[in-house]
Amino acid sequence: MTTSPKRLIELDALRGIAAFIVVLHHAWLSLPDRPDWLQWLLETTPLRPVAMGRQAVVFFFVLSGFVLTRALASQESRQPGSVLSLPGGASYAAQRAVRLGLPVLAAVLFSALLQSALWSGPLPAETPHIVGGAAWDEMWDWRSLMTQIMLLSYGDGFQLDPVLWSLVHEWRVALLLPLVLLLRGRLAILGAVALLGAGVARLAGMPEGSVSLGESVPLTFAASAGFLPAFAAGAALALRPVGRLDHGQALAAGLAVAVLAMTASDYGVIIGSVLLIMLAQRDGTLAALLRRPLPLWLGRISFSLYLIHMPVLLALTHLLRDWIGPVSVAMLAIPLSLPLAALMYRTVEQPAHQLARRLRWSAPRTAPARA
């Protein structure tokens, strides 16, 4: 009898650390003046994800491909047709819509309320883009509010919560993951399709390693195709797991992860992400560290933290800009985001998960044959 896959809590912890890196990244981008020595440190060492941020998001995509495919494959194995069928696919899509949609709705409304209360106009032109042109540059209206909630914005359209650009791709590509189960024995085809998607993005004028969203709704689909290799790499690892790394292999993989964290190439980050997922599943120092309470707590609140930290940073920037400097604002936003994320996790994310579980479709059981 096939059992449900054991939840890999170490991967939850990695997701939490990656979410916190994104928080640090946006705090860093909010600073108009950055010390040269610190900029050098963050851009030329394995700390580069803090300065660039994109590496953490690409890791999210690889991890989503792995975790979702692993769960879908286990479910389909236990109950054939619960995934690879029209009702099963519809059930999965509905669950994903609730799991992603309700927290997104809460984050956008939270930011809209904060902007309504605190906004007095655009910030000066010299303000860093992440808290200037990319967000709260103009007052929201109902049309823009609904467009952002439905993840239909493009360019700098996610004015209330700029991080939503990644959820556009997460939502779209995740809907395709059940089809990956049809390629369990044909991973070369999966790789070819993913690279074809990346080619579409390049032909649409989106250079690898830099574009988040296109400048129109159609181009956002090309941008989503550009991230197919990240999801496909995680899915392939779930469908054909690699054996446990021995000590020497783990050491080599760890060194490779450190080096690849410094790369500007998405493909290097994808390889590093796969190696990091493999390392986290191996009993050893890394796994032991990831099982500690703080990383596990960050893992639990990671999605809420990812969604809520930008509204917090924006609110404090507009509220306190005439009183304290950007460094102090950033230093306040980072710790304040953590309890607010925990509150959002309890009041929004957990209920969303509970509601999503009720939408699970169950295949009818076949009646036993009579003698």
Ordered by start, the domain boundaries in the chain are 9-357
**Confidence band for 369, pLDDT divided at 50, 70 and 90:** very low
Q: What is the pLDDT of residue 11?
A: 95
Is 2's pLDDT higher than 60?
no
**Confidence band for 241, pLDDT divided at 50, 70 and 90:** confident
Is 360's pLDDT higher than 80?
no
Is 362's pLDDT higher than 60?
no
Average pLDDT rounded to a whole number, residues 154-165: 93
Q: What is the pLDDT of residue 37?
A: 92
* Helix, strand, or coil (residue 125): coil
Q: What is the pLDDT of residue 371?
A: 37
Return the structure tokens found at 205. Answer: 């004028």
Higher pLDDT, 211 or 355: 355
Q: What is the pLDDT of residue 89?
A: 87
Return the structure tokens found at 233. Answer: 């790499």
pLDDT > 90: percent of the chain: 73
Is 209's pLDDT higher than 80?
no
Is 367's pLDDT higher than 60?
no
**Which residue's entry shows tokens 């979410």?**
19
Q: Which among 22, 30, 212 is positioned nearest to 126, based on CA atoms?
A: 30
Average pLDDT rounded to a whole number, residues 98-106: 96
Across the chain, mean pLDDT equals 91
Is 25's pLDDT higher than 90?
yes
Higher pLDDT, 57 or 212: 57
What CA–CA distance (Å, rounded) separates 123 from 212?
A: 23
Residues in CB range of 350: below 8 A, 6 or more apart: none
**Which residue's entry shows tokens 């099963």?**
88
Average pLDDT rounded to a whole number, residues 52-56: 92
Kindly report, residue by residue over 127-138, the tens digit of the pLDDT.
898 998 889 999
pLDDT > 70: percent of the chain: 95
Is 13's pLDDT higher than 80?
yes
Q: What is the pLDDT of residue 22?
A: 97
**Which residue's entry shows tokens 């054991």?**
6
Cβ–Cβ contacts within 10 Å for residue 122, how many?
Answer: 13
DSSP-assigned letters across all residues of 191-245: HHHHHHHHHHHHHTT--TTT-SS-SSHHHHHHHHHHTHHHHHHHHHHHHSPPPPP
Cβ–Cβ contacts within 10 Å for residue 14, how many?
Answer: 25
Q: What is the pLDDT of residue 6?
A: 66
Contact by Cβ (8 Å): 353, 99: yes
Q: What is the pLDDT of residue 1?
A: 35
Average pLDDT rounded to a whole number, residues 39-53: 92
